[in-house]
Amino acid sequence: MQELRSRESDVKNELKTAKIEEDLKIGRYFSLSLVGLGKLVIKKTEEVVNLKKRGRFSEGLLANLLPESESMPMTKLVGRTTAQRNLEQIWGSLRDHNIRTIGVYGMGGVGKTTIMTHIYNQIKSFRRLGIAIWVTVSNDLNIEKIQNGIAQAIRLEFSDKDDEMSRSMKLFEGLKHREKFVIIFDDVWKPFSLEKVGIPEGNAFKIVLTTRLKNVCRGMRCQKKVEVQVLSREEAWELFQERLGADVVLPPEVEPTAKLVTEECGGLPLGIITVARAMREKGDIREWRNALDELKCSMTEIEGMDDEVFPILKFSYDRLKSERIRSCFLYCALYPEDYAFYDEELIGYWIAEGLIDDMGDWEKELDKGHTILNGLIDVCMLVKRFDDCIVMHDLIRDLAISITRKSPRFVVKVGTGIRGSMGVEEFTSEVERISLMRNEIKMLLGQPNCPKLSTLLLQRNPPLRNISHCFFDRMNNLRVLNLSYTSIEYVPVSVSNLENLSVLLLNNCWRLTEVPSLAKLKRLRLLNLSNTSIKEVPDGMECLVNLKELYVGSEEWVDFDRYVRSGHWKCLKLVDLSSKFGYLTLETNRLVAIGCNFVEEESSSVPPDNIVELILNECELLSLRGLSRLQCLQKCKISFCSMKWLLPMEDNPTMRSLPSMTPTGSFAFLRHLTVYRCQVLESLMSLELFQQLQCLERIDIEGCSEMEEVIQGGEAMVEEGDNNKNNNPAVLPKLREFYLINLGKLKSVCKRVIICPSLSEISIVGCCQLKKLSLSLGNSTSVVEGTIEGSKEWLDALAWDDPNTKTLLLPLFQEAEAKEEEEEEKAEKAAAPAAPAAAGGGCGIKRKAEQQVSSTYQQPLSSY
């Protein structure tokens, strides 16, 4: 995320600082340079989007570093007296010129990190202390991770060749030149050398660390040690009541027992909060007495847990409503400490594991997952960070791992430094889930017997290259297999027989060229092949009847068009396909296609019926006739496409051989229509179809150099018995915005009058051949905004169908110099749009709509 934020900032700065004065006339005309710059931004933002997608399902890592420009989200301090006293002690030490290093220590769950988030934000508003840098250290101390975190905060770049010493020297130089800074190291478990990291000496620099162990403060030579105290009895009771619910009034006979329950939490905020949430809506004195007994008797059943903390947290775990919810909670223990899940990424794993029932409806399954997730957040077993990121408190993760040492059986060895080959010793017959991610495993040998194993996580083992062909033969229950970010060249044949497999992640396996037949994997829901060297769609793809998500993004993929034309992707909920031949992404009801020649007459080639938003860029197609059955379509944005008509006309000779024309009701819900630089487009559609667009709110046409008429047809016809019905005006009651920009050959909007009583903004720029404006605002007297720009001679010759409309729109006229108009027209004709770079595929569950994927061409350039 840090890399993406920096990248986003770079792109924005590049756009702002680009010197385009020679090619760009500030105002209403936009020349080729801005088009070129816009195309560059498309390319850049697509790269950013691809990086974002790579962080989703398999490795959704949220950096542990908050950049200099942002404040941290804060949880309210609990315990007015105690917490405030702790905060003031730390703040006073920071302002003391004689103190350089401060150690903040206390038991797990006492609120050290919460206090430091307040300190962090306070430093940012108190500039005398310089910049604030936050780095989470965690139990698996990693000097390189610490160095990278600090470097990103001060915008210092390391090269791939830099070793620890080189990084240390660069950091030293980078920090030495800063007048002041404060580095907060959160969750330190063992001492480390500041000099080894590259932090210089000097009283102007402040170091604050949080730890559970006072000895760490001594080992780090902290000049000031601040113990974060537990809450007083009164503060604890106040917090307990608050988290029980402001509207909860305990019965008189329950309150004394509730106070005793609170006291059993030992003044520990995390414990008080979790127990209070577990006892919410409990009014029976018997339940409270039972809870008190359990808290008193629940001594440390699991080795390694703190005697004071464990009973409290275990109590909340035991109070989860069902075994299924407990399983959802325990699943999070497979991932590293401080790992940040995207909410729907985590739900995706639960669905794959069968922890959420198959409802036959993807959205309903997600809703059920969110219900479980929110329940775990409500009882403080998980914590929501930012908008869609979920983390697990490290103490609660310790609890989960400890529970899984008994039943259910997990093997969690994440980032423990496992090297070389690995046999079957960890793969016992009782194990249910194994996580060996983030190690240095090179080979997986043998044929382990794991009939209960449902999840195997092997991602981020860069040296992993060889896996026995029979390795998966005796893992018939396997549902989730993650081999992403490894060096495998082939997927073992034994994967072909994993009939229960639901998720297969092979993204970023750069050497991977071979995938066995997938024909038997009929339960597969997610397949990620992005950023591999696979050239052809794997055999058996058409058999994946339950596939919901597919990610394939590779420059090597040569049969892109064949798969797109097969239509198999249409039944998916999320699709991300890309190669050097094109780019196609489908997310729920939104389709983006770049350089795809798939919208044809054949029913197998058109998008799913429920598409709401359609974006086409540089697609070669005859027309959009094949999309006429998209009854749900609301937004349609087309740019640099090569069709003569947006929708075919019955009186076009080329179209006469086609089947019956567009059916009644087509595009009936279309609200926004944007057409940009379709250079051979002659008109949009027939009047008959146009009159069906009663929901249309915005029409935006720009840079279509061959367009002579927007709406075709509607010539006056008087026949016997006709009663002049063919001369009736077209009415678009909801049309609010109408833009015609740089249409050098446009002669007519429509031969029939178009009544648009709701029009509030109109722009007509660079349409010097327009002879008549066949628009009517009806009886409207509202002020209309916008621009009508051209020469005075052009305006004088312009015919109007409605005097009232002329009165309302004439004040918008701005005269343009004829010479500049001619120059811009020449520039437009010389413009040749460069194809956007093919986007890379995602690497995991992708739920959020990637709004930037086509940000430049979603709106006309005149709107920038």
Q: List, as one string, the DSSP characters of 572-617.
A: -SEEEEEETTEEEEEETTEEEEES----SSSGGGSPPTT--EEEEE
Closest C-alpha to 769, from 751, 787, 793? 793
Closest C-alpha to 377, from 412, 325, 314, 322? 325
Closest C-alpha to 849, from 585, 631, 651, 634? 585
What does pLDDT average to in each consecutive run of 10 residues of the chain (864 residues)? 55 49 33 40 54 42 42 66 85 89 86 89 80 85 88 85 89 82 90 90 82 87 88 88 83 91 82 83 87 65 50 78 93 89 91 89 90 85 78 80 87 88 84 94 93 96 94 96 96 96 96 94 94 89 90 82 76 85 85 75 62 88 68 90 70 37 66 93 86 92 93 60 60 94 94 92 94 90 91 92 91 75 52 38 33 32 25
Burial 497-517 (b: 16+ CB within 10 A, else e): ebeebbbbbbbbbeebeebbe
Write out pLDDT tens, residues 769-796. Answer: 999 999 999 888 888 999 999 999 999 9
With a CB cutoff of 8 Å and minimum separation 6, the contacts of 385 are 62, 73, 340, 391
Closest C-alpha to 576, from 615, 540, 530, 532? 530
pLDDT of residue 205: 83
pLDDT of residue 72: 66
Measure the CA–CA gap between 201 and 34, rounded to whole angstroms.
Answer: 49
Q: Which residues pair with 799 in a beta bridge?
A: 772
Joined together, the tokens standing for residue 466 give 């060889």
Joined together, the tokens standing for residue 473 give 């033969």
Peptide bond preceding 463 in cis form (omega within 30 of 0): no
Measure the CA–CA gap between 850 and 46, rounded to whole angstroms.
Answer: 9
Joined together, the tokens standing for residue 178 give 């800063």
CA angle, 631 then 632 then 636, to 5°: 100
> Ramachandran region of residue 567, left (φ > 0), alpha (ψ -120 to 50) or beta?
left
Amino acid, single-letter form, for residue 420: G
**How many Cβ atoms sit within 10 Å of the Cβ of residue 297?**
8
**How many Cβ atoms sit within 10 Å of the Cβ of residue 791?**
14
Q: Report which DSSP code applies to 836.
A: P
First to last CA, the chain: 27
pLDDT of residue 599: 53
pLDDT of residue 600: 53
- CB-based contact 105:212 (threshold 8 Å): yes
Q: Which residues pair with 702 in a beta bridge?
A: 676, 741
Closest C-alpha to 741, from 762, 768, 714, 763? 763
Helix ranges restricted to H, 752-801: 792-797
pLDDT of residue 734: 94
Q: Report which DSSP code applies to 750.
A: -
Q: Is 401 helix (H, G, I), strand (E, B) or coil?
A: helix
Chain mean position to CA 633: 23
pLDDT of residue 452: 95
Counting beta carbons within 10 angstroms of the beta carbon of residue 660, is it exposed (0 to 12), middle (13 to 18) or buried (19 or more)?
Answer: exposed
- CB-based contact 545:519 (threshold 8 Å): no
Write out pLDDT tens, residues 356-376. Answer: 988 878 889 999 999 999 888
Tell me the backbone φ, ψ of residue 728, rounded to 5 degrees.
-65, 145
Measure the CA–CA gap between 283 and 547, rounded to whole angstroms.
Answer: 46
- CB-based contact 479:455 (threshold 8 Å): yes
Question: What's the whole-model pTM score?
Answer: 0.65
